[in-house]
Chains A and B, each alone.
Chain A
Amino acid sequence: GEDVEQSLFLSVREGDSSVINCTYTDSSSTYLYWYKQEPGAGLQLLTYIFSNMDMKQDQRLTVLLNKKDKHLSLRIADTQTGDSAIYFCAESRTLRFGGSYIPTFGRGTSLIVHP
């Protein structure tokens, strides 16, 4: 299987909460991320969580991390049509060379918000 897995599509009604789920395989992950890609654009970091945390909240976004089950989720409260995009889950560890964090990305979940 793939290192980072997530469902490909999620459809929600405007105003509802969206929950996007992700599972990963590497127990030594240091950072776990959610990136957002809008049509015709590159990925942009939406939020991240350090591996020693189990929850992070940032305005409408809540990230939950279950290290035991290697499960990451992103909850978007009061979902708006402007939230329609592809959401990528990713995990990373520090590499030996250069100290850069190299994310391993999932395939992305297309969030469709309808009125």
Chain B
Amino acid sequence: DAGVIQSPRHEVTEMGQEVTLRCKPISGHNSLFWYRQTMMRGLELLIYFNNNVPIDDSGMPEDRFSAKMPNASFSTLKIQPSEPRDSAVYFCASSPTSGSRSYEQYFGPGTRLTVT
């Protein structure tokens, strides 16, 4: 298995631009998570999907952030408009909800976002 795939790996954009981050979870995993990692705040859970349905988006910082999961193999996290304080590493993770490994999250390599 290829693992969780994220694209792009690096994104540099100017303040005010729209940014779209993409994630392909591991095939067969029912849960998908978006995290943000910064030095100041550590690892923050932004949103969590189960069977493509958003379950908990209480971690989404503000209305500029939105996430979708149109099917079991694809999710996006969009920031519009982007601001310098959104600069961070964004991780996608997936997890099975049944079976012997349901306690484990599998992380992608992350997207390093820089907003100037």
Q: A-side interface residues toward B, CB under 8 Å?
A: 30-31, 33, 40-45, 48, 88, 92, 95, 97-103, 105-108
Q: CB distance B31 to A98 under 8 Å?
A: yes
- With A45-B104, A48-B104: A107-B42 Cβ-Cβ less than 8 Å: yes
- Asked whether B97 lies within 8 Å of A45 as measured between CB atoms, the reply is no
Contact present for B91 and A43 (CB under 8 Å): yes
Nearest residue, chain A, Cβ from B4: A42
Q: By the criterion CB–CB under 8 Å, are A106 and B42 in contact?
A: yes
Q: Which residues on A sit within 8 Å (CB–CB) of B34?
A: none
* Contact between B45 and A102, CB atoms less than 8 A apart: yes
The interface residues of chain B lying within 8 Å CB-to-CB of A30 are: 103
Shortest CB-to-CB span from B43 to chain A, Å, is: 5
Asked whether A42 lies within 8 Å of B102 as measured between CB atoms, the reply is no
Neighbouring B residues of A44 by C-beta, 8 Å = 107
What residues of chain A lie closer than 8 Å to B43, measured between beta carbons? 43, 88, 105, 107-108
A44 to B, closest residue via Cβ: B107
Q: Which residues of B contact A33 (CB under 8 A)?
A: 103
* Given contacts A31-B103, A41-B110, A42-B107, A100 and B42 within 8 Å (CB-CB): no
